Chain A
Amino acid sequence: MTEEQLNRALDLMRRLPPQQIEKNLSDLIDLVPELCEDLLSSVDQPLKIARDKREGKDYLLCDYNRDGDSYRSPWSNTYEPPLEDGTLPTDRLRRLEVEANAAFDQYRQMYFEGGVSSVYLWDLDHGFAGVILIKRAGDGARNIKGCWDSIHVIEVQEKSTGRSAHYKLTSTVMLWLQTSRPGSGTMNLGGSLTRQVMEQDGTVSEPTSHIVNMGRLVEDMENKIRHTLNEIYFGKTKDIVNGLRSIQPLADQKQKQAFSEDLANALQKRQGKSDP
């Protein structure tokens, strides 16, 4: 019963207006408390920002850097609020995590020209896994509020030779746009593209090769998703609106259509006559 309930819960989250994700998730957990852990780990929510006071930098919160009610900063590698023995990555992994955060910080600056990023890694049996988070809020120009959230979960399976690895990336990107203006009233266009998957192998000559391989995969994935978001948000949904109502009177259009059909028929007849 619980598996069917989880499927129904996820189906519901794909239908309810994403503008109220947090409320919907909270209500859903109240209604079916047994699904709490599963829901929190499978439903993506807009990323929250916290401040690492020690390092003077912002970082992003998710289930992967959470232990109890505390969150680990990727800059200071400590928990806020402090924890006696919170889960920490091994020394080897932490060194890679520091490099990854620095690298993706630069990536973020080059594509997003602002915003916050965070990378968290954890060990697996034959490799490691990680999550790369990016949050970019707009400045509200032209009276439109916008926000982009990226959640990339990557699984790295190191081959026994140690010279190559297999990378599997599962990504979700959330895009939120809203405006309130006299002409158009309130307009809220938001939601997410989820569970996009990309896999590839990569050579590993030193530990930082992983960052190069992960970086290229994340970059390709985000570029692809950005393109898809552009098509869906500003193409498809707009087409539906203009399909629901026609600014031009439909009678006029029927006339135009009838006219162009007459024209096409007339041209065909003329061509038929001039054929030998």
Chain B
Amino acid sequence: MAPDDQISDQEKVRIASDFIRHAPPGEFNEVFTDVRVLLNNDTLLKEGVAGAFALYNKDQLTPVKLPNSSIPSLVTEHNDIGGGRFFDPRSKQSFKYDHLRKEASDLQAWESDTAVESWRDALESQFTEYTANHYKHGVCAVFGQSRNDSVSLVACIEDHQFQPKNYWCSSMNGRWRSQWCATLTGGTGELQGTLRVQVHYYEDGNVQLVCSKNVKHSITCSNEVETAKEMVRLIEESESEYQLAINENYQTMSDTTFKALRRQLPITRSKVDWEKIISYKIGKEINKAQ
């Protein structure tokens, strides 16, 4: 292979990073190992691709256990304070996060933004109850930031099911991600949501479900608790509507679309008579020859 035919290191980094960032939920380690062997250049991996690990974990809303707290937090773009550190507004701490080992360490006290803390705290309270009520192993986090005259809140939920290949039932991984952003200015506000679901089946094949939906609502704000309750009410409504719509699609896909692609049996309701198909063709040939 002539050296000229090789792609540049920059291109290799782009490709390796793309692969890492598209790892299905629960399979980061396997994809990482694949990429490492294929790239065959640990220096390039460490220098060029390491950024992709962090982007992946933040995009996945990766749950993280804190050594001194029973309630886990999330690793997201909203609580990234740079230098490999993230903050957990619930326990008022910051931590160092190892993106490969998925571990938190070096906990330090962290001060929340007092201007928005009452709003953030009220939403966290309602949102945590909502999460426990709809997501069996869900983890949620609420972040708050003041922006000029506005209160900016971000509420995230993550839930997943991972089943390794040697488990007794099929190899399947799935993850649900909700991200809701609220901007409250004076007595009104806007609530925007991005809902994402991904499922990967990989026994004897590769089948994936990739879904996403954007939602928008206008809200009226009174006090912290009432506003939080209204937001959670809208969130619950939107997410349940989304889930129902997905289920309806499944129904249509299986009843209508799939059937129209290939029938279970021909219209005769019995399997093909291959002898007949062959003899018909031979008949035609004999007729032609005459």
Contacts and interface: CB of A to CB of B under 8 A. Distances in A.
Contacts of B197: 241, 244
B261 A136 contact: yes
Given A111-B266, A113-B263, A141-B260, A193 B204 contact: yes
Interface string B30-47: 110111011110000000
A212 interface: yes
B175 interface: yes
A257 interface: no
Interface in A31-77: 31-34
Interface stretch (A85-93, A100-108, A159-167, A259-267): A100-108
B15 A103 contact: no
Contact of A177 (B1, B35, B245, B258): B258
B6 A107 contact: no
B286 interface: no
Contacts of B253: 144, 146, 177, 179, 189, 233-234
Given A102-B281, A187-B210, 7 more contacts: A16-B22, A18-B207, A103-B274, A110-B263, A184-B213, A208-B278, A233-B254
Contacts of B161: 240, 243-244
Interface in B1-16: 1, 5-7, 11-12, 15-16
Interface in B162-218: 170, 172, 174-176, 195, 197, 199-202, 204-214
Contacts of A240: 161, 172, 174, 199
Contacts of A194: 204-206
Contact of B256 (A12, A15, A20, A144): A144
A15 to B, nearest CB: 5
Given A16-B22, A141-B260, A177-B257, A107 B207 contact: no
Chain A contact residues (Cβ within 8 angstroms of B): what range?
A: 35 or more
Interface in B132-174: 132-136, 138, 159-161, 170, 172, 174
B264 A223 contact: yes
Interface string A199-233: 00000000010011001100100110010011011
Contacts of A222: 262
Contact of B132 (A14, A15, A17, A250): A250
A27 interface: yes
Q: Please report whether the interface of chain A is mostly helix, strand, loop or mixed according to DSSP.
A: helix
A234 B253 CA distance: 8
Nearest to B16: A31
B207 A8 contact: no
Interface in B231-290: 239-250, 252-254, 256-258, 260-268, 271-272, 274-275, 277-278, 281-282
A188 B249 contact: no
Nearest to B256: A142
Contacts of B242: 183-185
B272 A215 contact: yes
Contacts of B241: 183
Contact of A188 (B211, B214, B254, B266): B211
A236 interface: yes
Interface string B121-141: 000000000001111101000
Contact of B209 (A175, A189, A208): A189
Interface string A141-178: 11010111000000000000000000000000001010
